[in-house]
Amino acid sequence: MNILLVWPANPPTFWSFAHVLPFVARKSAYPPLGLLTIAAMLPRTWNQRLVDLNVRALTDADIDWADYVLISAMIVQADSAREVVARCIARRTPVIAGGPLFTTGRDRFPEIKHVVFGEAEDVMAELASDMALGEVKPSYRAASRPDITRTPIPRWDLLQPRHYATMPLQFSRGCPFNCEFCDIIVMNGRVPRVKSPPQMIAELEAVRATGWDESIFIVDDNFIGNKVKVKAFLRELISWRRHRRAAPSFLTEASLNLADDAELLDLMVQAGFKKVFVGIESPSYESLAECAKVQNSSRDMAASVRKIHNAGMEVMGGFIVGFDNDTSNIFERQRRFIEESGIVTAMVGLLTALPETRLFERLRKEGRLLAHSTGNNLDAVLNFIPKLDRDTLIEGYRDLVKRIYSPREYYRRVLTFLRTYKPSGPKVPLSATDIRAFFHSLWTLGVRTRGRFEYWKFMTRALATHPRAFSEAMTLAITGYHFRQVAGTI
C-alpha cells in the first residue's frame, strides 16, 4: 500500500515566519506533527511519503504513486487544501481528510468522500483495515477522547529536519478554561490529557536521533493545564538535558496564570524554555468578562507579564479587537498596553467566530454571522456584524498593527523587554545558525530596508546595555522584520 501524506501551504501570517526563514536558510517554520503522528499509526509495511507544500511542490507523479492521499490542514490552509483535493480527484486518487479544517468545516468540502473527525488514535486501526480492503467509510469519529499515553512516536524519518526552523512535540491536549471564541475545547476538550515523562523523553530522543539539537516547540493547547503533571515532566526534562548534555531550547503556549506559580516558572526556565505564547486578548476587563477569559480578568496583566520576563522567559502575546464591549479607544489602549508591558511579539487580530465555538453559536442565534472564518486573523475581514462601527474597527485594527511594528516603536519595545528580562544560566555562545542570521540581518536590516537608522541605533544600544541578551535582541530584530512585512499587507 502506498500512502501519500500532504500538508498544504501556509499563507503569510504572523505564525508562518516566512520573512524570517531566509535569515536562517530554512524553508518552513515547523513540520506537520499531526501527519507524522498519523503515519506512525499505519502499518510499518506500507510505503509512506510526506509532501509538505511549504518545502516542495506536489507533483502528479506523487499523486499517481499513491493508493490513498491523507491530507490534514488548519483552517488558514483552506485554499491550498482545496487545490490539493481537486488535483487528487482529477487523477482519481482517493482522499481521506482530517484535522481542524475538516473536523469543524466538513460542509465546506462536499467533494471529499472520506473524513476523520477529531482525534484519530482510536479510529486508525479501523481505518487502516478498511483502506487495505478498499472499503473506506464516509466518516470516522471516536466515541471518546483518546488516551494519549498510547500515542506513538512520530515518523521523523519521513522528513528532512534541515528544512525547518523548529521541531514540534506535544505533551498534552485540552485546556481547562472556556474562552468563548476558542475552538480548543471543541477539538480537544476541557480536561487536559498528558503524556508520561518517559514517553516524552523517548520522543525527545527520537528527535535528537535525527541530529536535531535546536529549538523545539511544545505545541500544547495550554502547556500548564495540569500543573502537577507538567512539573513532573519538567523535572525529568531537566535531568535528561543534564545527562545527555542536550542543548535544545523550548517554546510553548500557556495561560497567564503561569505567573502565579514561582516553582513552575523556575522549572520551565531550568528545562530550557525561552519563550511562551500567552493569550492576553484585551486590556479591557469588560471585554475579558464578555469572552469568559477568567484567568486574565482578575489580575494586573502587565505585572504578570513582567514576572514571566523577570524569570527568564519572553512572553509572546495574543491580542484581539472587535469584542462587543470594545469602544473606539480600544486601539490606543491595546497599543499602550503592548508598549508598557514590553511584549515584543504582539500578535493582534480581529475577533473571528470559529466554527462550533460558543461565540459562533451566540452570533448565529443573534443573526450576526456573515461567513466562515478564513482562520487568518490578518485578513482584516470580519465574519460577523460587530457592535463597533465596522469601518472604524477595520481601519483602527490596521493602523494599530502598522504602528506597533513600525521600526521606531518596535525597537523601543524590545528595549523595554530587555530591561525586565533576566536570562538565567551560563551565557550560551552563538551557534552557526545565529551567526549566519546576524550577518544576514546586518545587510538586510542595516542596509537594504526602511528603518535601517533605527536598526543601527537599536543594535548599538542593545550591545552596550544588554550584552548578555544580545542574541535575543538580534533574534527579535529579525522577527520584527517579518512582522513589519506582514503588517504592510493588511
- What's the confidence (pLDDT) of residue 245? 86
Q: Are 203 and 154 in contact (CB under 8 A)?
A: yes
- Which three-class secondary structure state does DSSP give residue 252? strand
| CA–CA separation, 168 and 218 (whole Å) | 6
Buried b (16+ CB within 10 A) or exposed e, 461-488: ebeeebeebbbbbbbbbbbbbbbbebbe
Q: pTM here?
A: 0.94
**Phi and psi angles of residue 191, each rounded to the nearest 5 degrees, phi first:** -100, 110
pLDDT beneath 70: ranges in the chain? 374-381, 425-430
Q: What is the pLDDT of residue 132?
A: 98
**Residue 197 has what pLDDT?**
98
In the numeric block, which cell numbers belong to residue 391?
469601518
Q: Pairing mode, if any, of strands 114-117 and 95-98?
A: parallel
pLDDT, residue 374, reads: 64
Q: How far apart are CA 350 and CA 388, in angstroms?
A: 12
Q: What is the pLDDT of residue 450?
A: 87
Give the pLDDT score at 435: 84
In 3-state terms the chain splits into helix, strand, coil percentages (rounded to 5) of 50, 15, 40
The answer to whether 382 and 394 have CB atoms below 8 angstroms apart is yes
Grid cell for residue 194: 498528558
Q: Which of 321, 335, 488 is nearest to 397 (CA)?
A: 321
The closest alpha carbon to 198, from 168, 222, 229, belongs to 229
Q: Give me the phi and psi of 464, to 5 degrees please.
A: -75, -40
Element (H, E) at 253: strand 250-253
User: Which of 102, 99, 96 is closest to 135 using CA atoms?
Assistant: 96
Cβ-contact 68, 96 below 8 angstroms = yes
